[in-house]
Amino acid sequence: MVRSNQYFMYGICLPFEWHIEWEKAENKDFYETYEAFMNDDIFIDNSSNNKKIYCLFDGRDGRFIIIGRILNRSDDDEVLGDNKPIVVPNLNDFEKHYIENLVNKHFGVVGEFHYYFVTKYN
């Protein structure tokens, strides 16, 4: 059975192969490093989870990695926006800058950050 989760994120999208180059340059295992930031309950709110970043891998086709903040996500087989529109979070400039700085601090990545809506199939 194929299961899916949906993610609404603010971050930067990189080619899947980027993490291989990062590992060579940093002499670290990418998966071990990014697991320190993984948390299934990372939402914009006033909790301590608000300060975490997440790496979403397109593992099915290996095309991209999105590194950033999860703003909303579905549970297994739930659909975001089911029977109602999805509300796009309005991050202020401080929140965007904070996320961009975290990604840069931990992974050395700078560039254009965007909102992303992704359905990931497991």
Domain chopping of the chain, boundaries: 4-121
Distance CA 29, CA 20 (A): 9
Distance CA 53, CA 49 (A): 9
Q: Over the stretch 36-71, which tens digit does the pLDDT of each residue have?
A: 555 443 334 434 445 578 888 876 667 888 999 888
- Give SS3 for 85: coil
Task: Give the per-residue pLDDT at 38.
Answer: 53
Task: Give the per-residue pLDDT at 79.
Answer: 73
Q: What are phi and psi of 38, to 5 degrees?
A: -80, 140
Distance CA 110, CA 122 (A): 29
pLDDT lower than 50: segments of the chain: 39-49
